[in-house]
Each structure stands twice: as C-alpha cells, then as structure tokens.
Amino acid sequence: MHILITGATSGLGLEMARIYQQKGASLVLVGRQPLAQLDPTLFTPTTYCRADLGDPEAAEQIATWLAAQGIQTLDLLIHNAAVGYYGRPADQPTGHLLQMVQVNLTTPIALTHALLPLLTAAQGKIVFVSSVASALPTADYATYTATKAALDGFARSVRLELAQAGVRVQTLHPGAANTGMHAKIGIPPTQMDWNRFPTAEATASQMVRIIQRTDKGNVAIGLGNKVLRQVGLLGGTPLEWAMRRGGRTMPPSTPTSPAHAVITGVAEGIGRALALRLSQAGYRITGIDVNVGGAVETQAAVRQQGGEMAILPADLANPADIARVVQTLAEGPRPTLLVHNAGISAAGHFARLPIAAQLKVVAVNFSAPLLLTTGLLAAGVVDGQTQVVLISSLSHYVGYPGAAVYAATKDGLASYGRSLATAVPRPRLLTVYPGPTRTAHARRYSPDNSREQTRMAPEMVAEQVVAAVQSGRRRLLPGTAAKLFALLGTLAPTLMGHAMKRAILDKFGE
C-alpha cells in the first residue's frame, strides 16, 4: 500500500507517517528539510522526496520522483502541508501571501491533477487536511482561513467528478493541535496557550482512524470541533459580529471621500453593468481589466450617459500588475467602493483540463482579490469606511462539479469576506452570490446554452447589488431562484451536489 503524505517532516504529517510506518505501509514522504536532518529510521532516499510546495514546479517534481522510483499506483494521497499567518490582513507581506496560496491551495490542486493516473490505477483515496477554522470568520487568520475554505470547495466539487473513476475524496477538519505551528507564525503565548491543545500524536491518531474507517466527505476531528464547525456553517452574521468584537480591528478611518467606485473586470457582463449602474448613482468609475478593448467600450457607454470613467489596464494574474494598480490608486482619488468582480473559469472534467488553465483561475479569482485588498489596506486607501463588494457565486452553496477550481476560488472569496468583516471596525462589506447570468462568461463555460434566456440579466444583478450597497446589506443572493437553490444546498448538500453533477458535469460527456 503506497501512501504519500505532504508536510511529513513535522506536526500532524510526521505523526501520521509514524503511524503508517508501524502499519507496514510503503511511504512517500514530502517535505522541505534536507534528508540529513531527518530521522533515518523513517526518512530514507527511497521514502523521502524533498520538495518545496511553495514552488510552482513542486507537483511536477514529485510526480517525476515517483516515476523514477518506479511507483505506478498510489493508494492514499494526504494533502497535509500548510503555511499559516497570524495578524492584521494589511500587514501580511505579498510574498508570504502568495506562498500561502501556493502551499495551501494551488499545489494541492496541481498535485492531485498530476497524480490522478496513479490514484485511478489503485482506486485510491485523496485526503485534504483542512481546518475547523475554514467554516469560521477569523480576524487574525483571514487569508489562512480563506485558503482552507477554498480547499474545502475544491474537494466538494471534485469529489463528485472523481467518484466516476473510483477515486474517493475526503476532507478532514482538525481543530487546534500542539504542533508548533502557532509558535512558528508568531502567536504570543500570552494570547494562546498552545500547550493546552491536544498533542499532534493524538490528533494524527484520530485522523488515521477516520481515514481507515469511513469515506465520509467531511469529518471534523473531535466532538467540540464538530459543534464548532456547524456553528460556523450556520451562524451567519451574528457569529461574525461576535467574533469581530473579540478580534483585531483596523486603525480609525478617515472621513469618506466623494463617491468613487473601483471595479475589477469591467469589460463585459456584470462588471460592465455595475459600472453603468453605479455611474447613474453618482459614482466616478475606475475600471480595472486586461481586456482594454472591452473596457474602452464600457467607458464609452458610461460617458454616453454623462458619467466619468478611468481605465487601469492590468492582468490580475500578475502580482506586479496588482502592485502597480495599488500604487496608482494610492496616488489618485480615494475609492469609496471597491468591487472585486473579475473572474474566469475552466470548465470540463478536472482530470482532462490543462492544469495551467485551471491554476490561472486561482490567480485571477482568488489571489488577486486578496493581494489587491491587502495592498490597499496597507496603503491606507481602503479602511473601515470603504465599502467592499466581493462577487462570489451560487456555487458556494451548491458546488460546481465541472468547474471544481472555480468553485474553490468562490468559496475562498466568500470566506475572506467573512473574516475581513471581523477585522475592520464598522464593516461595510457585501458578498454577492449570483446564479446563472446572461453573460458572455456564462456562454463560454456552460456545456448547455439552450436555456440562456432563463438566466438573470447582468443589469438586474447590478441593480440589486447597488441597492444592497446603498442599504448596507452584508449578503446578497440575486433573484428568487438563487435563494431557493442556496437553501436547498444548505439543507441537502449531497442531493444538490448530485443534481449539479447531472446539470453540468454530465453534459460535458465522458
């Protein structure tokens, strides 16, 4: 039985490796440390693959190492490696944020893709080690929590896809354990006594038992964490308020400037509709888009109705472009509204889609909003009086088999919004969960456009978003159908997941 564990040189990964060694498994252990510094009874040249999961080439490196060892099947893949962060969102360095997304989300997606042939050959199992925090709004761990929520979203959708190949997918949600991670990310012992947490050995033992005994999709480790996770999933705004009062706050904000909306992805669809509607409401518009031609068309439409709009050309998949946007916005009129609307997708069977196209979805839909928000917070451009709108997706409630990486990014974005609302005093943050919309984006990625006219017009979505911004709402599900599907997805997630599979994935064909 071949078992691969990432993050195997310390903490939960190391303890799971020791347990599986005692059970006689053939181990493949992945970590960053030099082999000479590790326990030679566990880590050997034939069991240890040294790889930095923060390196974009790590997945390919691990796959190449397995091939060189002659390993052609994999019974169990445990995605355990993770990087943490503790502190105000504004204080997280860009390099660390990018490393966190890479280690916690991008590499697990890429490694799953690279090793699917081995897992399929063995009818194996994939385990994602998430966290109970993924269901909670967390002021001091906003980006970490968002990466774990995104990982949950990916697992939920890809589970339905890979079941057809006989590969099982499980997500574990441990709570805090005494692994050394809290000290590593700088939490003061006076604020958190990690010695009172369960030991890494005890938690790992529970995890191994669950992996062996059940294929249940989501399992929280321990009764207390099961309760906490359910509270997080169902607690909504009251929980956010309670956690905000106990969490960090941003510095006091300055008076609001004249109405100025910054919108990403203004070239078409919901972004264009928002630019037009916000202009009508008296906002000056700054549009950010890589599609300059489309943005110019939006600008002409805004000007035609008597509004003002500036364009900032930028590829949001490029961190250098995002840094340039932050600098430009810091030097110009202060935004009073920031709308994270830009998004792309990669639709079809996860195993067949090119991994590069899928990982670009992570960069544009997830990394970019985090980088842009962090940069603007650090520059003092965004504060507690800036309204922030995050365009997530109805997939947050119902899943999206056939676009699992897209679903991951939208779950992560929704989580980030919840945590950001606890980190900023007097939060003015709206998360929007649009369902199918009559846009070029939907036409590009849908396997069936025969009922396109039943989709909501982007102008209707924009109208509801602007009304929600003006009334100070925190969540918006545009339209009755979206509200109904969200309710069904909450009450009967398994049933809704299979319904989405029939409605989307199955139409892509075998």
First-last CA distance in the chain? 29
283 is catalytic: no
Structure tokens at 252: 């006091």
Burial of 444 (0-12, 13-18, 19+ CB in 10 A): exposed
Q: Please give the Cα distance from 468 to 207 (Å, whole number).
A: 43
Contact 337, 387 (CB under 8 A): yes
User: Is 324 buried (19+), middle (13-18) or exposed (0-12) by CB count in 10 A?
Assistant: middle
Which residue of the set 48, 141, 144, 406 is catalytic?
144
Do 479 and 456 contact (CB within 8 A), yes or no? yes
Q: What is the DSSP letter of 44?
A: -
Closest CA to 172 of 213, 111, 120, 137: 213
Please state the separation of Cα 228 from the chain's center in Å. 20
CA dist 280 and 18 (Å) reads: 63
Instruction: Say what the alpha-carbon torsion angle 347, 458, 479, 158 is, to the nearest 10 degrees.
Output: 10
Q: Which residue has the tokens 């905000």?
A: 244
Active-site amino acid positions:
144
